[in-house]
Structures are given as C-alpha cells and as structure tokens.
Amino acid sequence: MSNNNSSSSLVVAQRAVKQLRVEASVRRIQVSQAAAELRNFCLQNASKDPLLVGIPSSENPFRPPKSCSLF
C-alpha cells in the first residue's frame, strides 16, 4: 500500500510540475499595457455594442408582442 501511495503522490507531483511549466511559459504583459489595449478595443467597438447604442425595435426579439384588435 505504501508503494501505491508513493506512486500516486509522484503522479500528482508530476502533474503539478507540468502545469507549473505551462503557466511559466505563458507570455505576460504589464497591466498598464493590457488596460490600454482593452480601453482601445472598447472605444473602437462602442458603435457596434447593442448595450450602448440600443437595438432597433424591428430587430429586437424581446419586444412586447403587439396586440391584435379586430374592431
């Protein structure tokens, strides 16, 4: 049982090392650069954002249904 326990902990340690190597290899940028890029992206796409410019009522799938009256 001790041998099985040690091999299990070895596998867990190997997975942890593999994950740490993957995370260490990720390209990183400064927060100020990421914030500037995000701000520019938001400003460039603001005219396409339906939360900012709205949705034309003819294209809005959530508009209240029109009532039908026969008289």
What b/e readout covers 15-45, taking b as 16+ CB neighbours within 10 angstroms? eeeeeeeeeeeeeeeeeeeeeeeeeeeeeee
Give per-residue pLDDT as tens, 26-38: 999 999 999 999 9
Nearest alpha carbon to residue 62 among 70, 54, 49, 48: 54
Tell me how many helices (H) and strands (E) the chain has: 3, 0
Choose between 65 and 21: higher pLDDT: 21
- Averaged pLDDT for residues 32-45: 97
pLDDT of 70 reads: 65
Whether the pLDDT of residue 65 is over 90: the answer is: no
Which tokens in the block code for residue 24? 């260490």
Give the predicted TM-score (pTM) of the model: 0.51
